Amino acid sequence: MTADWVKIAVLVVSVFLFASVGIEIDRVAFHNVLRLDAESTAVAWQENLMNNSPEIAAIVTGTVPSEKAKQLLGQAVNGGSIFRVRLWNLQQQQLFYTERYPGLAHPQTIVDQCGVQGAQKVFAGQTCTHMKNAAIPGNPEHFACAFLPVYIQGKVAGVMEVYVDEDRHREAFGQAFLICEVIAGITALLAGCIPVYLVYRKMLAHRSAQERAEFLAGHDFLTGVANRTLARERGQAALALALRNQSTVAVLMLDLDHFKHVNDDYGHAAGDELLKKFSQRIHATIREEDMVSRLGGDEFVVLQVGVAQPTGVQALVDRLLAVLKKPYEIKGIQIACESSIGVTVAPGDATEWERLLSCADAALYRAKAAGRRTACYFQKGMEETLRERRRIELDLRKAMEMQAFRLVYQPIICTKGGKIAAFEVLLRWPEGWASCAPKEFIPVAEECGLMPELGAWVLRTACATAAAWKKPVRIAVNLSPVQFRQGEIAVIVHEALKHSGLAPQRLELEITESLWIENTDAVLEQLAQLKKLGVTISLDDFGTGYSSLKYLWKFPFDQVKIDSSFVERSEHDAKAAAIVETIATLGKTLHLSVSAEGVETAAQAHRIRELGCDSAQGYLYSQPLTSDEAELFVQRTDAA
């Protein structure tokens, strides 16, 4: 910044110097013009005088001037611009003079006025003219004194000193040169001001860019709140102060529930706008001495200081949950996107900033696992749960990259006749890896956005495997609600059928009731598209979800599957048995096939057959099988 101001100062000084030099040059030129004008006038006057009276030249040789010559010289100085004449010989003796205005001094020699060099020039046949000023009443204020050589027979015989009045010419030339000076000054100022202005603009732009860079170094570009770097600095300072003062600091980690759905459904521009409004609501809710920062994505952190804990942070949590649950209006659309909060308090939970963030992150994960839209305080053991979840995510990505997942096939048996109705396709963790059940890794895949790709792989692989079987047995593939969010599930299923050559009638798609939680119209439209492909659609885990009867009526499902929890209790619990019977009766009324899951005893199999179920699956019939084992199972069943 100092360098820029120095540049401006140098330019300003340069401009004024340039203007000053220009004006000075103009003045010198003005002086020379006047001098040359006076010299030209004096020379012309001398020539005219000598031509009219040649005897005047003789005066410089010592000849006494005649009355006529005196009269002629007197008349010559009494009109026009010539007002004084003196004649000198080569010895610098004054021989004659006449003047119109008395009062001017009478120098003794030519050298007194012209100097030695000037006198030598005149004696050598050149002219010597000087501009002079005099404040003598009755005399010109500005005049020129010209020393002109007087020739006799081609040689310099003497000197004629001629005084020329320049008052009138000076005024005329002065006006012209004044205009020139003004023009030169304005031109210099304009020529100088332009670079000064450009440097000033550059300096302002540089300052603005520097301030912007300094701001962005500590703030998030999108939302304008503090970024991770500034949060660390403030957090560490607050922790150090709290430890010295034996006070407390609270850290809250927040994120938007199902934020990825907003990006998928409305686009990233809407997602960015939602993040801005989200940060604005948080900033408006906290105190001035507290701080909100964005760590990345939809993850924000609030640092609360100077408040007694845990009452202070609980009050803040209540305010935040109340404010953040309200819908957001983005481009005229109402978007409901609530928040989950993880809370940790120092120094009780941790005494280092990064450790506090880790604790808050673990608490946030627990809040999301508890159903979202809530807050959870950090407790010991949470970090281990979070680390396990992250390990699963890393292994998920590795397994997908290596295509290491496995598919197994569990038989679905007809309750009447014992024939194979279908095989349910089940996804399994890579063989030889640390054990991880589907109920553990599938939710993680859904949360981190891997489920669409993983689900598509399951469909392609299952269809290709079934198409290669000798017997045309049907397969049932589970679809995750996440696979419906991008609106392309029908295309994915169609491509899997096309590339595998599997007949659509051999593919059954199982969906769960959780699919109806959001965007029901879009889900129904995609189910209709799937139905047009010729596949059958089954409602899985019936009775455990949301408003199932409404959607059984709205959409023509082919089958309902009774959740294993009802099947397990139906043997000894009359209420559970009544639910199974009711679902079976409802299925018959709506012309739906009814299947029971989790059959593990002969008594359960007998009971569900009596209650009207068409098919069943469970460990009573078979554990999940590999593809080759499934083909052998079909052969044995047919032979039996």
Token pair, residue 639, equals 């032979």
Region 430-459: mean pLDDT is 92
More confident residue, 546 or 639: 639
pLDDT higher than threshold 70 for residue 199: no
**pLDDT tens-digit profile of 277-307?**
999 999 999 999 999 999 999 999 999 998 8
More confident residue, 289 or 204: 289
Other C-beta atoms within 10 Å of 181: how many?
19
In whole angstroms, give the CA distance from residue 581 to residue 564: 14
Q: What is the pLDDT of residue 266?
A: 87
Q: Which of 213, 190, 173 is nearest to 19 (CA)?
A: 190
Kindly state the percentage of the chain with pLDDT values over 70. Answer: 87
Q: Which of 276, 269, 310, 309 is nearest to 292 (CA)?
A: 276
Q: What is the pLDDT of residue 542?
A: 81
More confident residue, 61 or 548: 61
**pLDDT tens-digit profile of 124-139?**
888 988 888 877 777 7
Residue 402 burial class via C-beta count within 10 angstroms: exposed 0-12, middle 13-18, buried 19 and up: exposed
Q: What is the pLDDT of residue 524?
A: 86
Region 241-246: mean pLDDT is 91
Residue 231 burial class via C-beta count within 10 angstroms: exposed 0-12, middle 13-18, buried 19 and up: buried
Comparing 209-213, 248-252, 304-308, 487-491, the range with the smallest average pLDDT is 209-213
pLDDT higher than threshold 90 for residue 111: no
In whole angstroms, give the CA distance from residue 146 to residue 45: 11
* pLDDT band, residue 276 (cuts 50/70/90): very high
Fold entry, domain 391-639: TIM Barrel (3.20.20)
The structure tokens 């304008």 sit at 224
**pLDDT tens-digit profile of 42-59?**
888 888 878 877 777 778
Region 532-559: mean pLDDT is 80
The structure tokens 């332009």 sit at 194
Q: What is the pLDDT of residue 195?
A: 63
Task: Domain 2-171: give its CATH architecture.
Answer: 2-Layer Sandwich (3.30)
Region 240-257: mean pLDDT is 93
Q: What is the pLDDT of residue 17?
A: 63
Token pair, residue 379, equals 């407790």
Token pair, residue 488, equals 């392309």
Q: Which of 211, 205, 131, 204 is nearest to 173 (CA)?
A: 131
Token pair, residue 301, equals 């952190």
Region 84-105: mean pLDDT is 82
Tell me the pairing of strands 339-346 and 333-335. unpaired
Q: Which of 558, 559, 560, 577 is nearest to 568 (CA)?
A: 577
In whole angstroms, give the CA distance from residue 359 to residue 366: 11
What CA–CA distances, in Å, run from 204 to 73, 193, 208, 211? 73, 16, 6, 10
Q: Which of 79, 111, 108, 74 is nearest to 94 (CA)?
A: 108
Token pair, residue 264, equals 């998928």
Other C-beta atoms within 10 Å of 96: how many?
17
Residue 316's identity, in one-letter code, is L
Mean model confidence pLDDT for the chain: 85
Q: What is the pLDDT of residue 16?
A: 63
DSSP calls for 78-119: SSSSEEEEEEEETT--EEEEEESS------SSHHHHHHHHHH
In whole angstroms, give the CA distance from residue 204 to residue 201: 5
More confident residue, 329 or 382: 329
* pLDDT band, residue 547 (cuts 50/70/90): very low
Up-side HSE of residue 520: CA atoms within 13 Å toward CB?
Answer: 10
Do residues 312 and 355 lie in contact, with contact meaning Cβ atoms separated by under 8 Å? no
Q: What is the DSSP letter of 64?
A: P
Region 590-604: mean pLDDT is 92
Q: What is the DSSP letter of 483?
A: G
More confident residue, 505 or 260: 505
Region 579-603: mean pLDDT is 91
Q: Identify the H or E element spanning 301.
A: strand 299-305
Comparing 210-214, 270-274, 555-559, 617-621, the range with the smallest average pLDDT is 210-214
* pLDDT band, residue 9 (cuts 50/70/90): low
* pLDDT band, residue 11 (cuts 50/70/90): low
The CATH number given to 228-380 is 3.30.70.270
Q: Which of 64, 351, 90, 94 is nearest to 235 (CA)?
A: 351
* pLDDT band, residue 353 (cuts 50/70/90): very high
DSSP calls for 402-471: HT--EEEEEEEEETTT--EEEEEEEEEPPTTSSP--HHHHHHHHHHTT-HHHHHHHHHHHHHHHHHTSSS
pLDDT higher than threshold 70 for residue 584: yes
Q: What is the pLDDT of residue 327?
A: 93
Other C-beta atoms within 10 Å of 507: how many?
27
Other C-beta atoms within 10 Å of 510: how many?
19
* pLDDT band, residue 15 (cuts 50/70/90): low
3-state SS class at 596: strand
Domain boundaries, given as residue ranges, for the chain:
2-171, 228-380, 391-639
More confident residue, 272 or 519: 272
More confident residue, 78 or 499: 499
